[in-house]
Amino acid sequence: MTAAAVPAYLGRNFADASPAMRFGALLSIWKEGDWSRNDSTSQNAWKSVTKLTDRDQATLKALLERQTALAEPLAQQGRLLRLEALALSPFVSGLGNEHPLENGFAFLNPYGLPYLPGSGVKGVLRRAASELAGGMWENSHEWDNATVDALFGQEIDEHGSGARRGALQFWDVIPQIDAGTLAVDVMTPHQSHYYQRGEPPHDSGQPIPVYFLTVPPKSRFVFHVQCDPVALMTRADLAEGQRWQQLLRTTFFHAFEWLGFGAKTSVGYGTFREDAAAQEAWERQMREKEERRRRAAELEKALAGLPEDAAWVKRKLSTWFGTDNNVFLGEVEGFLAERNALSYEAHELLVHEVEKRWRGIMANPDAVEGKKRKPKFNDRPRKLAKRLAEIAPKRA
C-alpha cells in the first residue's frame, strides 16, 4: 500500500489541495512502513495530481483577467504588447526544481498553479533577437546588437562592467488549460548502468521510466511585454510608430518556430503558434474600447455649459439604442417625476425624441384613427406628451 509521506492526521484525501501541494508534498508513491519509493504504483499516483479542480481553473482565469485589466491601459498608451498563442506540444518548466523524484515543475506561488516565468520568456526572446541580429538567418528583420541591448539590456562584459537594464519588462504567463488537467509524460533513459554505476555500456540494460508533469497541447498562453518609454529616450527610432512592438513580434515568431519555451525544447516540447483569431479579437476589442472612450470624451465636451437637466437628457440619449420605447419611457418618467420644470434645452431634446418615436403625438396626444375611433397612441406615451406640454418653459 502506498501513501503520501505526511502525518496520519492529515488524512488521505488531498483532492482540494493545489496541484503544487499534490505534486510536491502529497504524492502517494511511498510504501508505508519503510517509506521507500514504490515505482510500480507511481503512474497511478501521478494521476491524482494532474486534475485541475473547478477552483484551480477559476483561479487561472482570474489571474489572466487581472493581467488583462492591468494591460489594457498600458496597451492603449502604446506601452505594452500582448500576444496570444496556442501550445502545439506539451509544455514543461522547472524540471530542475527540487523534488523527491528529482523531476520538478514550476508552480506559481502562492496559488500552486503552473506558469511560465517572465524571466524564461525574456531569455528565449533575447536569444531569438540575438540570432536574428547576428546574421544567423537570411533575414535579420532589422535587428542589430545595439537594438538587442536597448530592449533587453546590456550584459556584463569581460571586465565585469557595462550591465544596463533594457526597456522591456516580461510578465509571467498564466496558461489557460481547456483540457482541465495537466498531463504526465514519460522518458526512458537508457544506459543508466553506464552513466550512474560506471558499468561497461551494453544493450541489455534495463530502462527505468521517469515520469514528469507537463501542460498539455492546445493550452492557451497569453504573453505580455511592457515597455518603459523613458528607457527609449535615447532610441527615438524604436519608439516612433511603436517600432519596438514590430521588432518584438518577429522574435516571438522566430522563437515559436525555432526555439520553444520551457524545458526539453530540443526534443519538441514548448512549441507554440500565434492564435491569430484570439489576437484579432483582442485588438478589435481594444479598438472598440478606444472608440467608446473617444465618443465619451466628445460627448462630455458637448455637454460643457449645458444646464444640468439638458446634460442628463443628452447623455441618456447617447446610450439609448434601437427602438426600445419601454426603456425610454421608464427613464424619462422617472426623471420627470422629480421635476416640476425643465430648461429650454432639456425640454427641446425630449420633445424632439418623443416626436421621433411617436410621430404627431406632441401636436395631438389624444388623436384617434380608424372607423372605431381608437386612440392612435398608447396610454404611456400619451401621458408623457401631455406632461411635457404642461411643464414647457414659458418664453418671456
Q: What is the dihedral sign for C-alpha 361, 363, 364, 370?
A: negative
The answer as to whether 295 is a domain residue is no
The answer as to whether 179 is a domain residue is yes
Is there a single domain that holds both residue 185 and residue 319?
no
Q: Which 8-state DSSP code applies to residue 358?
A: S
Tell me whether residue 215 is exposed, middle or buried, using C-beta atoms within 10 angstroms of its C-beta: 0 to 12, 13 to 18, 19 or more: buried
- What span, in angstroms and rounded, lies between the C-alpha atoms of 295 and 313? 16
Is there a single domain that holds both residue 112 and residue 214?
yes
The answer as to whether 300 is a domain residue is no
Q: Give the H/E segment covering residue 213.
A: strand 210-214
Q: How many CB atoms lie within 10 A of CB 390?
A: 9
Is there a single domain that holds both residue 161 and residue 85?
yes
| Confidence (pLDDT) at 385 | 95
Residue 204's pLDDT band (boundaries 50, 70, 90)?
confident
Average pLDDT, the chain: 89
Helix 118-133 / helix 243-254 crossing angle, nearest 10 deg:
90
Residue 395's pLDDT band (boundaries 50, 70, 90)?
low
Which amino acid, residue 163? A
- What span, in angstroms and rounded, lies between the C-alpha atoms of 389 and 93? 73
pTM for the full predicted model: 0.80
The answer as to whether 108 is a domain residue is yes
Residues of the chain above pLDDT 70, percent: 94
| Confidence (pLDDT) at 194 | 73
Q: Which residues contact 239 (CB under 8 A, 6 or more apart)?
A: 229, 232
The answer as to whether 302 is a domain residue is no
The answer as to whether 211 is a domain residue is yes
Is there a single domain that holds both residue 63 and residue 80?
yes
Which of 11, 32, 50 is the last residue before a domain boundary?
A: 50
Is there a single domain that holds both residue 155 and residue 282?
yes
Averaged pLDDT for residues 234-247: 93
Bridge partners, residue 272, by sequence: 87
Averaged pLDDT for residues 16-33: 84
Which of 257, 287, 317 is the last residue before a domain boundary?
A: 287
pLDDT per residue as tens digits for the range 107-133? 999 999 999 999 999 999 999 999 999
Count: domains in the chain: 3
Joined together, the cell numbers standing for residue 315 give: 447623455
Is omega for the bond preceding 110 within 30 degrees of 0, making it cis? Answer: yes
Residues of the chain above pLDDT 90, percent: 62
| Confidence (pLDDT) at 103 | 82
Is there a single domain that holds both residue 331 and residue 232?
no
The answer as to whether 299 is a domain residue is no
Is there a single domain that holds both residue 239 and residue 132?
yes
The answer as to whether 113 is a domain residue is yes
Range of the domain at 15: 1-50
The answer to whether residue 10 scores a pLDDT higher than 90 is no
Is there a single domain that holds both residue 92 and residue 217?
yes
Is there a single domain that holds both residue 104 and residue 78?
yes
| Confidence (pLDDT) at 100 | 77
